[in-house]
């Protein structure tokens, strides 16, 4: 039997208003900018859904599950034909063109998989926060 495992990034500061950040991340065509090219293949995306292939995990589908204007965006995803993770972005306005973002991930992992996947998941969340902190083109939404 699997258990839900919970992972959380540190809080990162992005050079964007909460509204601009929210608009950007609620279009999944923009997310390719935050994923290292070498870690995925066959990226396909529209505004609400993306699919890509990860070595050893197969095809992963991600779709927007919850949107709460300017404060929260959650994405549900499945790999291996199973609905097994929820990635959430918590957004908090911190002033003009400054927002705080924290990423959380809930995943359905058995104890052995959790032991093997914890460090790569933590590294992935840190990499995403760093990419978001360094990104400067929030107004450049993919269309």
What is the SS3 string spanning 32-63? Answer: HHHCCHHHCEEEEECCCEEEEEECCCEEEEEE
Entry pTM:
0.88
Which residue(s) pair with 104 in the sheet? 8, 88
CATH of domain 3-134: 3.30.530.20
* Domain boundaries along the sequence of the chain: 3-134
pLDDT value, residue 1: 41
**Residue with the larger pLDDT of the pair 131 and 38:** 131
Q: Summarize pLDDT for 65-119 with one digit per residue, the tens.
A: 999 999 999 999 987 666 689 999 999 999 889 999 999 999 888 888 888 888 9
């Amino acid at each position: 039997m699997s258990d839900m495992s919970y992972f959380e990034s540190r809080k990162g500061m992005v050079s964007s208003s909460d509204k601009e950040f929210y608009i950007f991340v609620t279009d999944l065509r923009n997310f390719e900018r935050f994923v290292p090219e070498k870690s995925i293949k066959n990226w396909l995306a529209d505004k609400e859904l993306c699919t890509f292939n990860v070595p050893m995990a197969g095809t992963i589908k991600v779709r927007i599950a919850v949107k709460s204007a300017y404060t929260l965006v959650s994405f549900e995803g499945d790999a291996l034909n199973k609905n097994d993770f929820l990635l959430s972005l918590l957004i908090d306005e911190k002033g003009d063109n400054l927002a705080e973002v924290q990423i959380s991930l809930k995943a359905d992992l058995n104890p052995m998989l959790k032991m093997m996947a914890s460090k790569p998941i933590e590294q992935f969340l840190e990499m995403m926060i760093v990419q978001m902190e360094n990104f400067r083109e929030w107004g450049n939404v993919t269309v």
